[in-house]
Amino acid sequence: MTARPMVEIRGVHKGFGTLEVLHGIDLTVAEGEVTAVLGPSGSGKSTLLRCVNHLERADRGYVSVDGELIGYRRGRGVLHELKEKHILRQRGAIGFVFQSFNLFPHLTVLENITEAPRFALRRPAAEAEADARALLARVGLADRADAYPRQLSGGQQQRVAIARALALRPKVLLFDEPTSALDPELVGEVLDVIRDLAAGGTTMIIVTHEIGFAREVADTVVFMSDGRIVETGPPSQVFDAPSHERTRAFLAKVL
C-alpha cells in the first residue's frame, strides 16, 4: 500500500522574469506508479517536468528522486548547486521523452540508443549494443536498428526515443505530451509501449491530453491550472467527479 516515494516535488516555484509560472507545486510519485498531468496550455506542465530534472532551476522548493536531491547538495544547512557534470549524471536517472522525439539525425537508431550509455556511462560498446537491441525489441523495432531517424515514421521515432531513455536505466521516466506531434493513426503504437512500461512497474510522470489513456494507465491524475495543482486523485475521481470548476470546464472541452 505505502510504496516508497520515488519523486518528491516540494514547494516548487518558478518564474521567467516577471511571469510567475509555478506557484508552489507539491507532488509525490510513489515507486512503480504512474501520474498523469493534465491542464490547459500554458498552465506550467512542461516547466514542472523540466524542473524535475533540473533543465529549469526552481526559484524556490526542491525535487528529489529516490531520496536524492536533484541539482543541489546540502552543506551547512544551505543548498549548493552541483557541478554540471554531476547534474548530467543525475539526469541519466530521470528519462525524458519530448513531444518532438529529439533524436540525433546523423546517428542510426542503434547509435542513438548506445550514445549515452557508451560515452556518458562508459559502458563497453558490445554491452551497450546488446542492451540497445533488447530495448528495440521491447518497443517493437528490432528490425530497424540500422535505420536513420528520417527513415522512420513519427511513431517509430518516438519509440526509439523511449528506448533511448530506457537505456540509462532511469528511476523515473518523464513524458511531455509524447503523442501530441503524431498523426492520429500512430498514437496507439506509442501508447502501447507506455502501457507496457506501466505494467512492468516503471515509475512515470506523463503530461498528456489523452484522457482515455490516462484513465486506463494512471494511478493518479493531477490537474494543473495557472501554475497550481488544482485537483489530484485517482482517475475515477478526477474524471468522473471533479470537485473543481476549472477541472470540469477543462474536461468539458477535451472530452
Residues contributing to the site for ligand ADP (CB under 6 A): 16, 19, 21, 39, 41-47
Residue 179 site contact among ligand ADP, Mg ion, none (CB < 5 to 8 Å, cut-off depends on kind): none
Residue 21 site contact among ligand ADP, Mg ion, none (CB < 5 to 8 Å, cut-off depends on kind): ligand ADP
Instruction: From 68, 62, 20, 18, select the one nearest 43 (Cα to Cα).
Output: 20
> Is the CB of 113 or the CB of 173 nearer to Mg ion?
173
Residue 47 site contact among Mg ion, ligand ADP, none (CB < 5 to 8 Å, cut-off depends on kind): ligand ADP
Place of cell 515514421: 153
Residue 43 site contact among ligand ADP, Mg ion, none (CB < 5 to 8 Å, cut-off depends on kind): ligand ADP
> Is the CB of 98 or the CB of 213 nearer to ligand ADP?
98
The strand pairing partners of 229, in sequence order, are 224
Residues contributing to the site for Mg ion (CB under 5 A): 45-46
Q: Hey, what's the cell of 132?
A: 540497445
> Is the CB of 121 or the CB of 249 nearer to ligand ADP?
249
Query: Minimum Å distance from CB 135 to Mg ion?
Result: 26
Residue 220 site contact among Mg ion, ligand ADP, none (CB < 5 to 8 Å, cut-off depends on kind): none
Query: Minimum Å distance from CB 13 to ligand ADP?
Result: 13
Instruction: From 225, 226, 227, 223, select the one nearest 241 (Cα to Cα).
Output: 223
Query: Minimum Å distance from CB 138 to Mg ion?
Result: 27
Residue type, 104: F
Residue 157 site contact among ligand ADP, Mg ion, none (CB < 5 to 8 Å, cut-off depends on kind): none
What does the angle CA 121 – CA 123 – CA 125 come to, to the nearest 5 degrees?
135
Instruction: From 49, 72, 83, select the one nearest 177 (Cα to Cα).
Output: 49
Query: Minimum Å distance from CB 52 to ligand ADP?
Result: 12
3-state percent breakdown (helix, strand, coil) of the chain, nearest 5: 40, 25, 35
Query: Minimum Å distance from CB 238 to ligand ADP?
Result: 17
How far apart, in whole angstroms, are the C-alpha atoms of residue 27 and residue 11? Answer: 9
> Is the CB of 42 or the CB of 201 nearer to ligand ADP?
42
Q: Hey, what's the cell of 183?
A: 498523426
**C-alpha dist (Å) from residue 58 to 44, 69, 90, 123, 217:** 12, 13, 16, 32, 29
Query: Minimum Å distance from CB 41 to ligand ADP?
Result: 4
Q: Hey, what's the cell of 6?
A: 520515488
> Is the CB of 45 or the CB of 246 nearer to ligand ADP?
45
